[in-house]
């Protein structure tokens, strides 16, 4: 997977982008697109320490958007092992409709917003925001943009 600069407009999926400045409290990552229909109807967003996606580099935040299961799974991936999944909440993303996801970096967590509404907070585990240098998006979605505001 080739690495792309951020901001990226209408990038291909799978997508791998590099943040040119370190994340810090106040940084906001935005991902906009439209989930495609059919298949297993899921896509994933990973905020990770390096560019490797198989096996994946350490990942501070893994979001698996699963409308069919009515959930957005949150997790981490450290030393080639998954952590405990968090599955509370519904899935406000609907295949065939545009979505906007914002991940706000806070001192103690990632605050996740979907379509302008707070969805959940994900507390940092072994990998914190300051180790994140890359974002990857894979699965059944078309991207309109991937952007960051520092």
For 97-136, the pLDDT digits (tens) are 999 999 999 999 999 999 999 999 999 998 999 999 999 9
Looking at residue 41, its pLDDT comes to 87
Structural domains in the chain? 22-149 (2.60.120.200)
Residue-wise pLDDT tens digits, 40-64: 789 999 999 999 999 899 999 999 9
Q: Which pLDDT tens digit goes with each residue over 71-86?
A: 999 999 999 999 999 9
In the DSSP assignment, the letter for residue 53 is B
């Amino acid at each position: 997977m080739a690495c792309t600069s951020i901001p990226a407009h209408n990038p291909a999926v799978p997508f791998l982008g590099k943040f040119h400045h370190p994340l810090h409290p106040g940084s906001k990552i935005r991902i906009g697109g439209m989930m495609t229909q059919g298949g297993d109807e899921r896509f994933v967003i990973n905020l990770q320490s390096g560019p490797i996606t198989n096996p994946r580099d350490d990942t501070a935040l893994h979001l698996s958007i699963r409308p069919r299961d009515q959930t957005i799974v949150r997790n981490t991936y450290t030393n080639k092992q998954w952590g405990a999944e968090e599955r509370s909440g519904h899935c406000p993303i609907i295949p065939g409709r545009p979505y906007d996801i914002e991940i706000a970096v806070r001192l103690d967590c990632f605050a996740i917003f979907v379509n302008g509404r707070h969805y959940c907070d994900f507390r940092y585990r072994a990998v914190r925001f300051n180790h994140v240098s890359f974002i990857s998006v894979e699965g059944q979605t078309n991207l309109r943009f991937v952007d960051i505001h520092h």
